[in-house]
Amino acid sequence: GAVVSQHPSRVICKSGTSVKIECRSLDFQATTMFWYRQFPKQSLMLMATSNEGSKATYEQGVEKDKFLINHASLTLSTLTVTSAHPEDSSFYICSARKGQRNTEAFFGQGTRLTVV
Amino acid sequence: AQSVAQPEDQVNVAEGNPLTVKCTYSVSGNPYLFWYVQYPNRGLQFLLKYITGDNLVKGSYGFEAEFNKSQTSFHLKKPSALVSDSALYFCAVRSPLNRDDKIIFGKGTRLHILP
């Protein structure tokens, strides 16, 4: 398989501050990365699709100014939660795909964000 | 629009018994289908996929799934369950006809293997 590393695994921040989450494909180049949010006992909600070198495509209802996504290289995408509020507390997961659309995506370990 | 349904929130199976986790889908054209497993506070791990070819797909940890086009189903199965199989399982689908790259996940089924 392929390895996707997500960092940090847990973060606690104060309301109003910003938090950056990194997603790295360790042993392959990922032209496309995906960011998800998962609420307790619920499925994954796709937030945005990130393509290297271009702007991310956000899903309806996701604030692009609040959730900044950067995909600066073929192995790194970042999600920055700006001016975090307690309601942003959640489990955030990234995934990356190696190649064509019929290939599976590989997931990072997830980041548990708690805003206090 | 594409969608995935996992009709069971939870499935309980005694250790050593066969298990089935159900999944049905709705998508335009022939689907790409996936199963993932999630352990507490972790990301998703890929189990298996169906793209084309043999309807019975074998994957990791002894799991398999059968693609049934007429019933639009892709149920996950294992002949003999282990306690360590207890986790949250997600079925997912992508349509090759859609221009976007979205993979749609079901709501998940929690599998409890009872010792």
Counts for chain A of helices (H) and strands (E), in that order: 0, 11
Counts for chain B of helices (H) and strands (E), in that order: 0, 12
Identify the pLDDT of residue A10: 96
Cα→Cα distances A62→A17, A37, A50, A59, A68, Å: 19, 11, 14, 6, 10
Q: Is A105 on the interface with B (CB under 8 A)?
A: yes
Binary contact (A6, B44; C-beta < 8 A): no
Q: Is A54 on the interface with B (CB under 8 A)?
A: no
State what percent of residues in chain A have pLDDT above 70.
97
Q: Which residues does chain B have within 8 Å of residue A110's beta carbon, measured at their own beta carbons?
A: 41-43
DSSP-based three-state secondary structure for A8: coil
> pLDDT, tens digit, for every residue of A64-115?
999 999 988 889 999 999 999 999 999 999 999 877 666 788 999 999 999 9
Distance CA A47, CA A60 (A): 8
> pLDDT, tens digit, for every residue of B15-68?
999 999 999 999 888 889 999 999 887 889 999 999 988 999 999 999 999 999
Look over chain B and give the mean of its residue pLDDT values, rounded to a whole number.
92
Distance from CA of B71 to the nearest CA of A (A): 22
Mean per-residue pLDDT for A2-8?
A: 92
